[in-house]
Amino acid sequence: MMEISPEVKALSAEMTSLRRDLHAHPELGFQEVRTAGIIAKRLTGLGYTVRTGLGKTGVTGLLRGGKPGKTVLLRADIDALPIREEAVVPWRSETAGVMHACGHDAHTAMGLAAAAILAKEAPSLAGDLFFVFQPAEELLIGAEAMLEDGALEGVRADAAFAIHVMNRWPTGTVAICDGAAMTSADKLTLTITGRGGHGASPHLAIDPIVASAQIITALQTLVSRETPPLSTAVLSLTTLKAGTAFNIIPDAVEMTGTLRCFDAALREKLLASLRRTAEGLAASLRCTARVESQFLTPALRNDPAVTAVARQVAAMIVGESRVVAAEPLTGSDDVAYFFQKVPGCYAFVGSAKPEWSSAPASHNAKFDIDESALEIGADFLVRAARAALLPR
């Protein structure tokens, strides 16, 4: 049995229309000018103390309760993806090549609905509400940018919540991980340099393509042979660029990829192994390898006490049997930077329509959600905030 709060029901139509408006006008990371403008205007109208331009396009809203108490942080991410939308919906993206294919339009709408409901209650609340509307989550660099701009200055939050719609689960399910929830993420760039020449005279050149092929193959042993069997790591090489013509051996090959880990020490070890393998193999084949890694976000851990609160409030909405324990994900969310400073819980709100035989996945050009999940997510944020402000 679903138990949506009446105050959420009352805002449902407005929340849905805002989600559709945001969906039609998606903006990429750090370009969310229109979106941030809507957020700032609404929060200001609700009485929040609003800060804008945090991490370029991030927005925060602080509202003090009637009595002193704890502070709860609620995060919504606001950016879209460089995807040409293929979903056939009236609110289809009007910006060519940009799409809300991860549901951050829904997160923004749910966050603003929760902000409106909680603002009405603020005079009777003991404690403060702090909303974070974060840009550039898809780039995994928006949270750190907000923190560097002092997003948490003057705010001592006691608990944080973030939600994500996910078509892996049907609407009416809330999935929450215990402890480790999402991996750290590094962006990897490998440049293998040889010496270009004629394709017919390889002995006069130093072929970086053959060296790269061996490096790619050898890197498969980092997970299979160097990672403890019960630990988790993912190493994917995802782009490979080299050459201009069939008869030219190029000077260099560039590859990019990503490393995902739950354990920081394992991450360090694998980065060292990556360097050793690439540089060693390249040298043995007369090439050089340059390995660059950009640390994007730490792993995300759900705090046990905050997670217990999240499970309780989710059960109040969807029923205890529909609050499922999720397996940790090898995806990443840079809200992990906020969770390093504030104990938090990240919850997945099921958003697949029950009648869909195969729900479109996040980051797919046909991505869509069951909009009835909006009420569940907004209600979760409202109830989580109330529960987190209670003295424990």
* Cβ 100 to Zn ion shortest distance, Å: 9
Whole-angstrom distance, CA of residue 7 vs CA of residue 375: 10
Nearer to Zn ion among residue 193 and residue 362 (C-beta): 362
Whole-angstrom distance, CA of residue 108 vs CA of residue 106: 5
Whole-angstrom distance, CA of residue 57 vs CA of residue 135: 6
Phi, psi of 24 (to 5 degrees): -70, -20
Task: Single out the segment in contact with Zn ion by CB under 5 A; choices: 53-61, 101-109, 238-246, 367-375.
Answer: 101-109
Closest residue to Zn ion, judged by C-beta, is 102
> In this structure, are residues 80 and 343 in contact, taking their beta carbons and an 8 Å threshold?
no
Nearest to 385, CA basis, from 130, 179, 77, 50: 130
* Cβ 107 to Zn ion shortest distance, Å: 8
Whole-angstrom distance, CA of residue 326 vs CA of residue 344: 16
Task: Single out the segment in contact with Zn ion by CB under 5 A; choices: 8-16, 95-103, 281-289, 352-360.
Answer: 95-103
Planar angle of CA 10, 16, 19, nearest 5 degrees: 140
* Cβ 306 to Zn ion shortest distance, Å: 20
The catalytic site residues sit at 79, 137
* Cβ 104 to Zn ion shortest distance, Å: 6
Task: Single out the segment in contact with Zn ion by CB under 5 A; choices: 85-93, 96-104, 200-208, 292-300.
Answer: 96-104
Task: Single out the segment in contact with Zn ion by CB under 5 A; choices: 15-23, 52-60, 102-110, 140-148.
Answer: 102-110
Task: Single out the segment in contact with Zn ion by CB under 5 A; choices: 98-106, 145-153, 242-250, 304-312.
Answer: 98-106
Nearer to Zn ion among residue 99 and residue 102 (C-beta): 102
* Cβ 338 to Zn ion shortest distance, Å: 15
Nearer to Zn ion among residue 32 and residue 263 (C-beta): 32
Nearer to Zn ion among residue 102 and residue 349 (C-beta): 102
Nearer to Zn ion among residue 70 and residue 260 (C-beta): 260
**The amino acid at 91:** W
Nearer to Zn ion among residue 158 and residue 333 (C-beta): 333
> In this structure, are residues 388 and 330 in contact, taking their beta carbons and an 8 Å threshold?
no
* Cβ 136 to Zn ion shortest distance, Å: 11
> In this structure, are residues 151 and 58 in contact, taking their beta carbons and an 8 Å threshold?
yes
Return the half-sphere exposure (C-beta side, CA atoms, 13 A cut-off) of residue 174: 29
C-beta neighbour count of 327 within 10 angstroms: 10
* DSSP symbol at 208: H
Whole-angstrom distance, CA of residue 381 vs CA of residue 386: 9
Nearer to Zn ion among residue 102 and residue 329 (C-beta): 102
* Cβ 282 to Zn ion shortest distance, Å: 34
CA 28 centroid distance within chain: 13
CA 338 centroid distance within chain: 12
**The amino acid at 8:** V
Helices (H), the chain: 6-24, 33-45, 104-121, 142-148, 208-226, 264-284, 304-318, 336-341, 373-389
Locate 306 and state its tokens: 């905050």
Nearer to Zn ion among residue 50 and residue 99 (C-beta): 99
Locate 153 and state its tokens: 């200055």
The answer to whether 102 contacts Zn ion (rule: CB under 5 A) is yes
> In this structure, are residues 64 and 126 in contact, taking their beta carbons and an 8 Å threshold?
no
Burial class (CB in 10 A: 0-12, 13-18, 19+), 367: buried
* Cβ 79 to Zn ion shortest distance, Å: 9
3-state secondary structure of 240: strand
Residues lying near Zn ion in the complex (CB under 5 A) = 102
